[in-house]
């Protein structure tokens, strides 16, 4: 038994609406780790709000006043974290001042370790107390996510850092180190922008997009020019915060030799650092760079410098005559020069390269190949094969019931082939992120949980079909309902999972293109379903009228059947072509990343 397509359309709408809804009540426990609201858009870069505290030092058990100021904001989310490890869980607990504006939340195992809004009513000022725990780290930093409007919000904006007495001075604040560096080495301004001449012939270049001009406002550019025992390096990109590149032995952050160009009050400071895991960078106290220059015009940051090919092992720098993966990242920096975590996936080369070897002109990708393959296979499976298979089973039984393929009705064989293809593609795609991450990802939100559910339902469907009762068995009706409901649930969850996955940094699809494409596909599929439903209803009504007239019944029924078959075949052809267009557009976008 089948349910009308209207039920599927309503179900899709409800699940989609739920998947993009925010948190007007402030119950944001799902965002405890990322502090990102589920609002279907990217966060703003330049914060407009202010976080203040009433002390710079604390002892365990102290109550610290925390104030949040901003003109007319709707929502907020405040935590305190270890200043040396901002990805660590929230620490300490909060105490409220005004329960009408704020509420306590429990993140992780610590009760009342976060504060959020109670409603989306406009507010300008919030005050709470933070209670320092007995096992507090030496330095604590307050972080806040603030929502001005539904699509206008800022994530993990750093607030003040407070320290316990006699705590070591902060080594991760960039401006202190950069001042020392700039004082000991002369820095000049570039008189003209970089250019790509010599790329691939005398310079090793990385460009994104491929073959872009570094003078362009959308071009990320990195070049290495070997000059005897040193290498002259140029870095350019659209950023008013910082640009950085790193040499790495693998495609993961940590254990890397990095170089940063940071805009501090419209002056660019260039420094080196060694990245340890995902901790904030600790800048070198001794500058290993020479001939340092920079330029900041129209939002494009450019810097150049020279460094020796070889360094002593104790200096922490990598020798440049070896092969490395190369990272290129950009992000925000505060007016004091403190850098924040990059807000999108860094550009990473596809392989290991020796920048002092044969000059090359290459590109890079912000999305790893395995993640690209994961997204592409899931799109093929749940946008193409499963959708066509469902329409064939729903509307083509009477059309292809007398046509046989390998001893079975043609509609059944086509449906089964497409569904088994879906299971196969889903299974292959399912393992790719685990291979890439080397395990479970804690940064992907609900996407992996829903993906596992879809995978389980996809495998369960053919297993259930293997125990299908005969056509006239009493249990056949129950089987039809279970088969339909399981398949429909899997399709809806797959669409919701893809909506969530498209916004993950590892895939880095162009926004809002990805959302519009998925909405377009849902509308395309539901529209086709509704059109075929209306046509089937009209055809049944036409046959009923013919039977009532009792005139040329056989001839008219045959004519109506032929008319219905031709219409459905035309609609199916157009639908398949439309799905192919969606697929080609998606694969083209993935290939450009």
- Per residue in 326-380, pLDDT (tens digit) is 999 888 876 656 677 776 778 888 889 999 999 999 987 777 778 888 988 998 8
- 3-state helix vs strand vs coil in the chain, percent to 5: 35, 30, 35
3-state SS class at 447: helix
Kind plus residue range of the DSSP H or E element containing 405: strand 404-405
Q: Tokens representing 418? A: 């497409």
Query: Residues 6 or more apart from 202 whose CB is under 8 A from it?
Result: 225, 359
Strand partners, 409: 404
36-40, 98-102, 112-116, 206-210 — which is least confidently predicted? 36-40
The enclosing H or E element of 432 equals helix 410-437
pLDDT of 294 higher than 70? yes
What six digits make up the tokens of 255? 């254990």
Residue 90 vs residues 96, 133, 140, 236: alpha-carbon distances, Å: 17, 11, 10, 36
Examine the pLDDT at 245 and tell me if it is beyond 90. Answer: yes
- Beta-bridge partners for 324: 353
Averaged confidence pLDDT in the chain: 80
Asked whether the whole model's pTM tops 0.85, one would answer no
Does 125 score more than 60 pLDDT? yes
> What's 31's DSSP letter?
G
Classified as helix, coil or strand, 439 is coil
Closest to 479 in 3D by CA, of 455, 487, 456: 487
pLDDT at 248: 92
- Do 141 and 81 form a contact (C-beta atoms < 8 A)? yes
Q: Which of 78, 111, 105, 75 is closest to 92 using CA atoms?
A: 111
Which residues are registered as beta bridge partners of 153? 147
Measured between alpha carbons, how far is residue 279 from residues 82, 171, 225, 262, 283 in Å? 11, 12, 31, 18, 12
Do β-strands 204-208 and 361-362 pair in parallel, antiparallel, or remain unpaired? parallel
In contact, 220 and 330? CB cutoff 8 Å = yes
**Mean of the pLDDT values across residues 162-172?**
69
Strand partners, 222: 206, 235
Give the separation between CA 440 and CA 447, rounded to whole angstroms: 11
What is the rounded distance in angstroms from the CA atom of residue 185 to the CA atom of residue 29?
Answer: 48
| Nearest Cα to Cα of residue 177 among 72, 34, 286 | 286
Percentage of the chain lying above the pLDDT 90 cut = 25
Question: What SS3 class is residue 582?
Answer: helix
Q: Which residue has the higher pLDDT, 503 or 426?
A: 426
Domains of the chain: 49-163 (2.60.40.4060), 188-365 (2.60.40.1210), 368-592 (1.20.120)
Closest CA to 479 of 488, 489, 469: 469
Cβ atoms of residues 101 and 116 within 8 Å: no
pLDDT of residue 24: 54
Residue 449 has pLDDT above 60, yes or no: yes
Position 369 scores a pLDDT of 79
Looking at the chain, the whole-number percentage of residues with pLDDT higher than 70 is: 81
Beta bridge partners of 146: 76, 154
The string of DSSP codes covering 488-521 is HHHHHHHHHHHHHHHTSTTT-PPTTHHHHHHHHH
Integer CA distances (angstroms), 61 to 126, 134, 187, 485, in order = 22, 7, 46, 55
Buried b (16+ CB within 10 A) or exposed e, 548-587: eeeeeeeebeeebeeebeebbeebbeebeebbeebbeebe
Q: Is a pLDDT exceeding 70 seen at residue 16?
A: no
Q: What number is the average pLDDT over the span 269-274?
A: 85
pLDDT at 354: 94
DSSP H or E segment with residue 20 = helix 5-20
Contact 450, 496 (CB under 8 A): yes
Could you identify the residue written with the tokens 């001839």?
A: 555
pLDDT reported for residue 512 = 60
* Rounded average pLDDT over 293-305: 89
Measured CA angle at 57 (ends 55, 60), to 5 deg: 110
Tokens at 355, concatenated: 């920048």
565: nearest Cα among 534, 529, 536, 542 = 536
Q: Residue 547 — very low, low, confident or very high, per pLDDT cuts 50/70/90? A: low
């Amino acid at each position: 038994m089948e349910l009308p397509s209207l039920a599927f359309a309503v179900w899709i709408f409800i699940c989609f609406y739920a998947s993009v809804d925010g948190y007007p009540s402030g119950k944001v426990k799902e965002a405890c780790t990322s502090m990102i609201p589920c609002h279907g858009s990217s966060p703003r870069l330049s914060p407009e709000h202010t976080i203040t505290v009433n002390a710079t030092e604390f002892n365990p058990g102290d109550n610290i006043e925390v104030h949040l100021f901003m003109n007319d904001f709707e929502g907020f989310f405040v935590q305190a974290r270890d200043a040396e490890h901002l990805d660590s869980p929230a620490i300490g607990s909060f105490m409220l001042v005004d329960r009408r504006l704020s509420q306590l939340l429990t993140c992780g195992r610590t009760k009342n370790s976060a504060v959020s809004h109670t409603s989306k009513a406009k507010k300008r000022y919030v005050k709470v107390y933070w209670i320092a725990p007995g096992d507090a780290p030496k330095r604590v930093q307050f972080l806040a996510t603030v929502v001005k409007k539904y699509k206008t919000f800022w994530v993990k904006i750093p607030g003040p850092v407070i320290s316990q007495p006699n705590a070591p001075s902060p080594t991760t604040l960039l401006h202190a180190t950069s001042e020392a560096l700039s004082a000991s080495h002369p820095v000049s301004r570039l008189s003209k922008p970089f250019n790509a001449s010599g790329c691939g012939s005398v310079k090793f270049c990385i460009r994104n997009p491929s073959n872009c001009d570094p003078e362009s406002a959308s071009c990320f550019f990195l070049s290495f020019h070997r000059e005897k025992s040193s290498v002259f390096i140029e870095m350019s990109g659209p950023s008013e915060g910082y640009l950085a590149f790193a040499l790495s032995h693998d495609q993961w952050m940590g254990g890397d030799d990095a170089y940063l160009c940071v805009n501090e009050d419209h002056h660019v400071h260039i420094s080196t650092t060694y990245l340890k895991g995902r901790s904030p960078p600790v800048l070198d106290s001794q500058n290993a760079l020479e001939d340092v220059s920079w330029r900041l015009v129209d939002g494009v940051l450019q810097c150049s410098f020279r460094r020796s090919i070889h360094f002593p092992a104790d200096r922490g720098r990598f020798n440049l005559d070896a092969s490395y993966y190369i990272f290129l990242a950009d992000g925000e920096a505060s007016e004091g020069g403190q850098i924040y975590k990059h807000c999108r996936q860094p550009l990473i080369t596809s392989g290991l390269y020796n920048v002092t070897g044969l000059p090359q002109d290459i590109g890079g990708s912000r999305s790893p190949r395995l993640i690209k393959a994961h997204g592409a296979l899931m799109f093929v499976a749940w946008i193409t094969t499963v959708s066509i298979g469902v329409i064939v089973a729903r509307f083509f039984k009477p059309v292809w019931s007398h046509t046989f393929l390998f001893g079975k009705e043609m509609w059944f064989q086509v449906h089964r082939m497409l569904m088994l293809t879906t299971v196969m593609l889903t299974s292959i795609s399912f393992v790719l992120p685990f291979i890439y991450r080397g395990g479970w990802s804690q940064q992907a939100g609900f996407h992996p949980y829903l993906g596992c559910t879809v995978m389980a339902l996809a495998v369960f469907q053919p297993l259930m079909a293997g125990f299908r009762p005969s056509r006239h068995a009493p249990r056949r009706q129950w089987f039809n309902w279970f088969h339909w409901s399981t398949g429909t649930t899997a399709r809806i969850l797959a669409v919701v999972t893809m909506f969530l996955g498209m916004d993950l940094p590892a895939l880095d699809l162009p926004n809002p293109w990805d959302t519009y494409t998925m909405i377009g596909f849902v509308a395309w599929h539901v529209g086709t379903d509704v059109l075929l439903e209306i046509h089937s209803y009209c055809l049944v009504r036409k046959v009923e009228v013919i039977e009532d007239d009792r005139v040329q019944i056989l001839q008219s029924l045959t004519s109506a059947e032929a008319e219905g078959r031709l219409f459905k075949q035309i609609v199916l052809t157009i639908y398949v072509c439309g799905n192919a267009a969606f697929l080609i557009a998606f694969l083209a976008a993935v290939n450009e990343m």
